[in-house]
Amino acid sequence: MLMSDLTSNGPRCSDGAPENAPVGAIDASLRWPLLALAGGALGWLLVGSALALLAFWKLQHPAFFSVCEWVTYGRVYPAATNVLLYGFALPMAYAFAFVVFCRAGGNPLRQPLLVAFIAKFWHAGVALGLVGLLAGDSTGYLWLELPKYAAAVVAVASLLLSWRALSAFSQRRQRELQPPQWFMLALVFWFPWIFLVAQMMLVHQPVRGVVQAAVNSWYAGNLFSVVLPAAGLGVLHYFIPALLQRPLASRSLAIFSFWTLLIFGAWSGFGVSLPLPRWMLVLSGTADFLLVLPVLAVVVNLQRTLAGRCEAPKTTSALRLLKFGLLAWVLAFLLGIIGSQMLVSEVTEFSFFVLARPFILMIGFAGLTAVGGLYYLVPQVTGQEFPSCPYLSGIFSFAFVAGVVLLGLSLAAGGFYQGAAYHDHRVVFMQVVKTFQPWLMGAMAGTALITLGVLALLGNLVLLAKAVVSRYCPCCCVGADRTCLAAKEGAR
């Protein structure tokens, strides 16, 4: 049925506008796309965190599996970062884009199985890229290491997902746009654009000279200053008011934060050491600093929304994770603004300091906001209480948050010390390597905690799946004190 038919013949409000579809119908239409996108993303989060743990381990024990070139640090580390970015963070962002467009728009998702198939196509491209990276087939460009054939799959899948997301957005019954929809629109437009441009200018028809460095920095800057923050802020602006059952405190602040994020985030990311015109570096550093404006606007707006809250017990866990996700974004911003200063960047640009911000954004900000949204959304979609096991939920919350903090601070503080030692001519290189070992152990411990938290979360999801299956198929229940429903009926 065409949308025009639905809006003309469907039920209408007193002012002539079509009524929203029932929430149950909307959630039912999101079930398979959410399972394909978010479920696959959580699987990649486990793989990516395990690969990151292996990469940090290889730095301390290079002789470990030294006979196998597939697990050398130079291959495992880019595999870990690309799996976390393209396998976890971006598919999860698209999953919540569909949720926001359909729930805020009041319309069920059309052709949900097609969206689920496109999601599987995306994940297949990431799996192909993982094999290629471990085999040594990397492009060599930071955050664009995926082989050409795998990147082509991700590019096509991103275009198709953006098409279906925009289709869901255009079919909305609530014509007035809400702040979460603005941020998700930025995601579905911005990522395919910057990814295709970067692939074309760096991989397929490479530009020459220093322009390559400029394009690579432009892509990374837009990715971590616009795309991922826009997706996470869309989740925060939708689920915090939904959990509290109250509107956002200020629409004006949301508008201000949205436009300042796009304007200043698009110019950020150029390192001060790049061989580029001075005006570009100064403009990028200024944009990095001016990102304080959207950060302050978002924090004030959400804090005013949270003020005087009265939390129900079932919403406490979700709200706590969402607030930790917001704090992770603020921490990542602070690291970004510190690292963009010339005096600091000259010290830290070749150290582990530059890795702290991307890891905090991909795992801390994207991960915590996504799981907080899932805590609210999964019971709506499945009709089953979640988290299923409070014990596993507690393990996830503690291990994941502690792991993100430990990983981020170890990379940031240890990287700063490492860079300062590099610039001290009195310190030999091997002494720098030895003294960095405790910080590296902290990063490894943080990654191990993150992996433990992901395992606890996946265990909770397995218990949820078993509960859902047992509800629809009582014969699948196990236990000595439970009798099969079919057997009862047969006895009667």
The pTM of this model reads: 0.91
Of the listed ranges 110-119, 220-229, 304-313, the one predicted with least confidence: 304-313
Band (pLDDT 50/70/90 cuts) for residue 66 is confident
Of the listed ranges 18-22, 111-115, 150-154, 327-331, the one predicted with least confidence: 18-22
């091997």: which residue's tokens? 430
Cβ-Cβ contacts under 8 Å for 381 (sequence gap 6 or more): 27, 28, 30, 31, 34
Q: 206 versus 479: which is more confidently predicted?
A: 206
Burial code (b: 16+ CB inside 10 Å, e: under 16) for 33-56 equals: bbbbbbbbbbebbbbbbbbbbbbb
* pLDDT on residue 149: 96
- Beta bridge partners, 12, equal 18
Torsion of CA 444, 449, 455, 456, to 10 degrees: 180
Q: What span, in angstroms and rounded, lies between the C-alpha atoms of 167 and 324?
A: 32
Q: Among positive and negative, which fits the CA dihedral 256, 257, 260, 266?
A: negative
Closest CA to 59 of 438, 359, 367, 326: 438
Structural domains of the chain in order of their starting residue, each with its CATH number: 25-462 (1.20.210.10)
Q: 9 versus 85: which is more confidently predicted?
A: 85
**Displacement of CA 316 from its chain's centroid (Å):** 22
* pLDDT on residue 1: 33
> Which alpha helices (H) appear in 245-312, and where do they start and end?
251-265, 278-290, 292-306
Query: Does pLDDT of 217 surpass 70?
Result: yes
- Beta bridge partners, 18, equal 12
Cβ-Cβ contacts under 8 Å for 446 (sequence gap 6 or more): 402, 403, 404, 405, 406, 407, 408, 410
Between the ranges 70-79, 309-318, 375-384, 387-396, where is the mean pLDDT highest?
70-79
Task: Output the average pLDDT for the chain.
Answer: 88
Q: Hey, is 12 helix, strand or coil? A: strand
Asked if 253 contacts 301 with a C-beta cutoff of 8 angstroms, the reply is yes
Asked if 354 contacts 415 with a C-beta cutoff of 8 angstroms, the reply is yes
Can you spell out the DSSP letters for 156-220?
A: HHHHHHHHHHHHHHHT-S--S--HHHHHHHHHHHHHHHHHHHHHIIIIIS---TTHHHHHHHHHH
Please state the rounded mean pLDDT for residues 412-417: 91
Query: Does pLDDT of 29 surpass 90?
Result: yes
Beta strands in 342-407 (DSSP E): none
* pLDDT on residue 255: 96
Please state the rounded mean pLDDT for residues 210-225: 94
Q: Cβ of 65: how many Cβ atoms within 10 Å?
A: 15
Asked if 192 contacts 158 with a C-beta cutoff of 8 angstroms, the reply is yes
Closest CA to 163 of 192, 138, 141, 136: 192
Q: Inter-axis angle of helices 40-60 and 112-134, to 10 degrees?
A: 10
Closest CA to 244 of 323, 326, 306: 306
Of the listed ranges 134-143, 360-369, 373-382, the one predicted with least confidence: 373-382
* pLDDT on residue 237: 96
* pLDDT on residue 422: 84
What does the block give as tokens for 162? 């953006």
Of the listed ranges 63-67, 110-114, 481-485, the one predicted with least confidence: 481-485
* pLDDT on residue 420: 86
Q: What span, in angstroms and rounded, lies between the C-alpha atoms of 331 and 316?
A: 22
Cα dist. 382→24, 94, 370, 385, 468 in Å? 10, 20, 17, 8, 7
Query: Does pLDDT of 480 surpass 70?
Result: no
* pLDDT on residue 359: 96
* pLDDT on residue 311: 54
Max Cα distance, the chain (Å): 88
Of the listed ranges 8-22, 34-48, 121-135, 402-416, the one predicted with least confidence: 8-22
Query: Does pLDDT of 322 surpass 90?
Result: yes
